[in-house]
Amino acid sequence: MSSASVTPSLFPSSMLTRLHAGAVIAVLVVERPQQAVHLARALLAGGVSAMELTLRTPAALQCLRAVREEVPEMIAGAGTILRPAQVAEVVAAGGAFGVAPGTNVAVIREAIAAGLPFAPGVVTPTDVDMALQEGCHDLKFFPAEPSGGLPMLASIKAPFAHLGVRYIPLGGVTTANLEAWLRDPDVLAVGGSWLARKELIEAGAWEQITALAAAASGIARKVRAADRKSTRLNSSH
């Protein structure tokens, strides 16, 4: 991610570095705060240090607050931010970042005003253009696979390549295609709901979730190590 240090971003450089190195963000729907805490610890045990708690349940903000208070080493943010008023709620809960499924200009502006690192969702060149006009350079590509996968992302991002935009694909990403997504130089990290599906969370299958996280983080480490090796080789010429 050579552009991370030079491209404007709503995300602090330290967070970008951690997100890029970890390369996987667990995307979660959680019903109870204590579940969220157990989940955060299980993910960390497997090497996944970022999670997006979607605002799809009544207790989502409580879950976010609990993780931020009890598992501070986890980068915990909120997803499915659909209305400007939700931005203040996420900030009050201690959210490290915010994510939306689409490019809602009112939400983006509210996030910027509140100082919340924010990644709007994009799926067309128009979306990317709108997000850039509002100052967003880190974008959620959603839904990634149903929209055409890597070939679609390659087409969408081409006109903006010189601007150093970074993407977080989500939707249809699994351990089977994770490596391919991470090898795209413009992918900051991927979002993964497969790491902790609802049935595993409800069953309290924390060890299984840790195993899934470990498999994903192992792939991520392999790709990032290859990236570093390639960078060193290129810089030596």
Task: Tell me, yes or no, if 140 is annotated catalytic.
Answer: yes
Catalytic residue (choose from 110, 134, 140, 157)? 140
| Sheet containing strand 166-169, strands side by side | 121-122, 138-141, 166-169
Annotated active-site residue in 52, 110, 134, 157: 52
Find out whether 107 and 120 touch, Cβ atoms under 8 Å: yes
Helix (H, G, I), strand (E, B) or coil at 164: coil
Helices (H), the chain: 13-22, 33-45, 60-70, 84-92, 105-114, 125-133, 149-157, 178-182, 198-203, 206-235
User: How far is the C-alpha of 149 from the C-alpha of 146, rounded, in Å?
Assistant: 7
Distance CA 124, CA 67 (A): 34
Q: Is 207 a catalytic residue?
A: no
The Cα diameter of the chain in Å comes to 55
Distance CA 46, CA 220 (A): 12
| Residues with catalytic function | 52, 140
